[in-house]
Structure 1
Amino acid sequence: MSRTLTSDEIARQLQDLPDWAGDTASLRRAVEFADFPTAIAAVGEVAEIAEEINHHPDIDIRWRTVTFSLSTHSAGGVTQLDIELAHRIDAVAASLDS
C-alpha cells in the first residue's frame, strides 16, 4: 500500500499543479472544455490512463465541465499515485485545449 502524503508534501507537489486544490484527503480540479463531446473525450482518455495504472478518479460531468477528485481509498488519503495521476490528467486537458 502507498504511504499517504503529509500536508507539507502535498503543498510542495501542488506548486507544480497550479490548477489543483487539495488536502490530505483528496486532490480536486475542475476543467472546462470547449463543449460536451470534448469533455466526454477527456473522460475517455483519463479512463484509459486509470485502467493502465489501476488507479481510478472520481469524476463528475456537468455539461462541458469535468471535475476530477483523486484519493487513494485503500491508503485513506492522498498518495504519490494521486500526484502522478493529476499530472497525467493535466496532460490530457492540455492536449484537448481546455
Structure 2
Amino acid sequence: MAELLNEEKVTEVLGRLPDWRYEHDALVRTATLASFPDAIRVVNRVAEVAENDNHHPDIDIRYRTLTFRCTTHSAGGVTEADVSLAEEIDGIIDALS
C-alpha cells in the first residue's frame, strides 16, 4: 500500500504547487479555461496520463471550470502518486490553456 504523506510533507508539496490546496485528505485544484472545448481537451489529456499512470483524479466539470481532486482512496489520503499526478495536471493546464 502507498505511504500517506504527513502534514509537514503536504505543506512542503503545496509550496511547490501554488495553485493547489489541501482539502478533505486530497490535493485540490480548480482551473477555469477559456472555453468548454478547451476544458474538455484538458480533461481528455489528464485522462490519458491518469490511465497510463494507473492513478486517476476525481474531476468535476462545470462548463469551463474544472476541479481536480488527487487522493489515493486505498490509502485514505495523499501519497506521492497524488503529488506526481498534480504536477502532471499543472503541466497539461499550462500547455493547453
Q: Aligning the two structures, in what range does the TM-score lie when normalised by the shorter sequence? A: over 0.9
In structure 2, distance between residues paired with 1:77 and 1:16: 19
After superposition, what is the alpha-carbon deviation per residue over 1:8-44, rounded to whole angstroms, capped at 9, x for unaligned? Answer: 1000011110000005711100010000000000000
Aligned CA RMSD, in angstroms, stands at: 1.0
Equivalent positions of 1:43-58 (< 5 A) are 43-58=43-58
How far apart are residue 93 of structure 1 and its match? 0.3
1:86 aligns with 2:86: yes
In structure 1, distance between residues paired with 2:50 and 2:33: 20
Q: For residue 32 of structure 2, what is the amino acid of its counterpart? A: E
In structure 2, distance between residues paired with 1:40 and 1:23: 24
Structure 1 pair 23–6 and aligned structure 2 pair: CA distance change class (3 A): farther
1:10–1:23: 8 Å Cα contact kept in structure 2? Answer: no
What TM-score do the two structures reach when normalised by structure 2?
Answer: 0.97
Structure 1: any 5+ residue segments left out of the alignment?
A: none
4+ long deviations beyond 4 Å:
none
Structure 2: any 5+ residue segments left out of the alignment?
A: none
1:62 aligns with 2:62: yes
User: What number of residue pairs does the alignment pair up?
Assistant: 97
Question: Percent of aligned pairs with the same residue?
Answer: 48
Residue 16 of structure 2 aligns to a residue in which SS?
coil
Structure 1 pair 23–9 and aligned structure 2 pair: CA distance change class (3 A): farther
In structure 2, distance between residues paired with 1:55 and 1:4: 15
How far apart are residue 59 of structure 1 and its match? 0.3
